[in-house]
Amino acid sequence: MVKKRKKLKGNQKTMDKNIIRSYKTKGTKELQTFINPGTAHYKLQWDGGGELPQELSGLYTSLNLVDTAVLSYLGNMKEEKVQKTAKEKYYAKQEKKAQEI
């Protein structure tokens, strides 16, 4: 039986992906830890593919080093300010007025 490979988008690479650990970010993406094929080193990759920030790129020799790097990165991430739509701004303003009365 021959397994078909999925067609990948963008920067995604074909790897035998056995997820060791997974980390949720403050956004919608997820960081995943894999063992780099052919080595005993750990590597990080975004769940949907994409380029990693400089501080997370490279190979790690232990899961403790991966944890330290990821938790440091997550701690330093800036909260992205979500822009409200005009409708949301209007309703917020109306609610504020209603509370004043």
* pLDDT confidence of residue 36: 86
Distances (CA, A) of 47 to 5, 23, 34: 17, 10, 11
Nearest by Cα to 30 from 38, 41, 19, 40: 19
Tens digit of each residue's pLDDT, the chain (101 residues): 443 444 444 444 444 468 888 888 877 788 899 998 888 999 999 888 888 889 999 999 999 999 999 988 888 876 555 567 888 888 888 888 888 77
* pTM reported for the whole predicted model: 0.57
Nearest by Cα to 23 from 72, 58, 62: 72
Q: Where are the domains of the chain?
A: 21-100
* pLDDT confidence of residue 81: 52
